[in-house]
Amino acid sequence: MESDILLELFRALSFLSIFWLIGNFMTIKINFIKKLFLPESVIGGFLALILGPRVLNIITISEKWLALYSVLPGILIVPIVASIPLGINFKQKKF
């Protein structure tokens, strides 16, 4: 059972990685996008959104993957929020 979940997670992340690579390629090759300074992940995500089932329905994405994608931001924000205080200096100033 767990191997099926891990396999679905691997497939879903592979799908996202493909669109990240497409965004990376577009950033390198298209000067207009390069001048906008948009991250590759934003370009790839926007492309996947347009081609996906919500807009043009060219690429079919299973409901399982959509449920998995909706959980990922909540999980992936934890290391970012947890690392915020790492750069703060807590020394007290003496007056």
Quick one: pLDDT band at residue 95, thresholds 50, 70, 90?
A: low
Q: How many domains does the chain have?
A: 1
94, part of any domain: no
31, part of any domain: yes
C-alpha angle 64/67/73, rounded to 5°?
140
Query: pLDDT (tens digit, 9 = 90+) per residue, 31-56?
Result: 998 899 889 989 998 999 899 888 99
51, part of any domain: yes
The pTM is what? 0.68
pLDDT at 25 over 90: yes
88, part of any domain: no
> What distance in Å separates the CA atoms of residue 74 and residue 57, rounded to the nearest whole number?
26
Cβ pair 61, 53 in contact under 8 A: yes
Question: Which pLDDT belongs to residue 1?
Answer: 56
Residue range(s) defining the domain that contains residue 46:
2-83
| Arithmetic mean of pLDDT, 67-77 | 81
Cβ pair 22, 40 in contact under 8 A: no
Query: pLDDT (tens digit, 9 = 90+) per residue, 4-23?
Result: 777 877 887 898 899 999 99
55, part of any domain: yes
14, part of any domain: yes
6, part of any domain: yes
90, part of any domain: no
